[in-house]
A and B are shown apart, each in its own frame.
Chain A
Amino acid sequence: MSGDAAMREMAANLPVPEFETTAFTPLGKPLGEARVAIVTSAALHRAGEEGYTMLDTKFTQLDRADRNLVLGHWSPNFDHTGIQLDLNVVYPIDRLEELAAAGVIGEVAPRHFAFAGNQPDTVSEVRLDTGPACAAELTADQVDVVLLTPV
């Protein structure tokens, strides 16, 4: 079995948080007028700045212009070279700028955010604490759409 298949099989059998319903917020405006942000679980941070501890539940603010970003993820279970070849394969910030320039989306948000993919099993901090705190930051920036890219 390949490494990715093994990881997918392992993840498929892990306990996951349960949600009885699916919250659903329709986009209340045309996409061409929407402000879009990226939130990634690649544990990105600016090179030379503080990284993440194991099972860190914090999130890091990334400014729209930041490109000097490195992975602070603790898992050895996935490829780390894709992002070395091209930041956008994890954090498609240049693609988003192009979509805004082409008018597909309204604009690129001024700030984007990174969490660490490794979270405590219950993910209760993300559900109750850091997730809502990040949502408040996005709302303060008048973001309409959030694209979530996992690592």
Chain B
Amino acid sequence: MSTLAHVFEAAGLSTVVFASMREVAERIHPPRTLYCEFPLGRPLGKPNDIAFQTDVLQRGLSLLEATGPVLESHPEVIDSDETPMACALPPRHDPDLPPAVDEAQGLRAAYDRSVKARGITEVGRVITADQVLEALRVLDQWAKGAPWAETPLPGPEPISVCHDIRSYYEEAGLQLVEGPPPGGRAAEAWFFEATEAGKTLMAARLALKEQGAPFPLWFYMAPAHR
């Protein structure tokens, strides 16, 4: 974003960057920067908070009054919430299925409610919601030692398949969450720490690493700090 600001400004446009990484903005030094220390992935800070989002925009727009390069910070810092969101998971239904597959099946109604309510879904980068079960079945086999190259996933590679699995879960989870909407990373923490799918994904990722799979393929299956 900071790089684009240089490019746009050189083309005669006035820009304001709402930066989420202060050091990066300082080093690239775009012309006008409002540093917003908000959860990554939420550059306007607070979902569904019109007053707050408007305040962020107006503070950014006010930088257009500066006569030279400027970097200011939004006064409020919002931390991510790394506590798994409170979200009921379906009871074990079919003991013959791998736990993650059984669980994903049990979440299907909630996922379908999300699609109906929103009209859109992030699932479908490379696999459909129907294929999520098959993908989890393969991850479960990898986790148990099956050679990854001989046990193919539906979809071209693990990274985008894992995106689809996580989207399926997070969209279903937001339909089931109790209390206020989750903060940044609360859904991620729930997926990786509370669900069978998350645990299976992490075990499969470790298995790929141990089998010598190419680094990016397994590394980007999950957030880097995990």
Chain A residues engaging chain B, CB cutoff 8 angstroms = 1-4, 6-8, 10-12, 14, 16-17, 19, 22-27, 31, 34, 39, 41, 47-48, 51, 54, 68-72, 74-86, 88-90, 92, 95-96, 98-99, 104-105, 115, 117, 123, 126-127, 131-132, 134-136, 138-139, 143-151
Contact = CB atoms under 8 A, between A and B. Distances in A.
Nearest to B43: A149
B27 interface: yes
Interface in B1-43: 1-24, 27-31, 39-43
A138 B44 CA distance: 22
A135 B8 contact: yes
A132 B3 CA distance: 11
B14 A96 contact: no
Contacts, number: 260
Interface range on chain B: under 10, 10 to 19, 20 to 34, or 35 or more?
A: 35 or more
Contact of B120 (A70, A76, A82, A132): A70
A48 B119 CA distance: 11
A120 B122 CA distance: 24
A86 B223 CA distance: 22
Contact of A105 (B11, B41, B61, B224): B61
A77 B58 contact: no
A11 B15 contact: no
B177 to A, nearest CB: 9
B64 interface: yes
B79 A77 contact: no
B61 A104 contact: yes
Contact of B14 (A26, A72, A88, A127): A26
A31 B65 CA distance: 9
Contacts of B39: 4, 78-79, 82
Interface stretch (B98-106, B140-148, B162-170): B162-170
A127 B5 CA distance: 10
A22 B64 contact: no
22 contacts: A16-B28, A17-B28, A27-B64, A34-B14, A71-B122, A74-B163, A75-B220, A76-B221, A82-B39, A89-B44, A89-B48, A92-B56, A98-B54, A99-B54, A126-B3, A126-B4, A127-B3, A131-B3, A132-B11, A147-B18, A148-B2, A148-B17
B47 A82 contact: yes
A132 B4 CA distance: 9
A99 B39 CA distance: 24
B17 A139 contact: no
B41 A131 contact: no
B80 interface: yes
Given A22-B30, A145-B16, A147-B18, A79 B7 contact: no
A139 B15 CA distance: 13
A4 B163 contact: no
B53 interface: yes
Contacts of A84: 114, 118, 122, 170-171, 174
Contact of B41 (A54, A90, A115): A90
A143 B174 CA distance: 37
* 7 pairs of A and B residues whose beta carbons are closest in the complex: A78-B41, A12-B23, A135-B11, A131-B7, A86-B47, A79-B41, A85-B47
B225 A51 contact: no
Nearest to B55: A95
Given A7-B224, A24-B9, A76-B166, A81 B79 contact: no
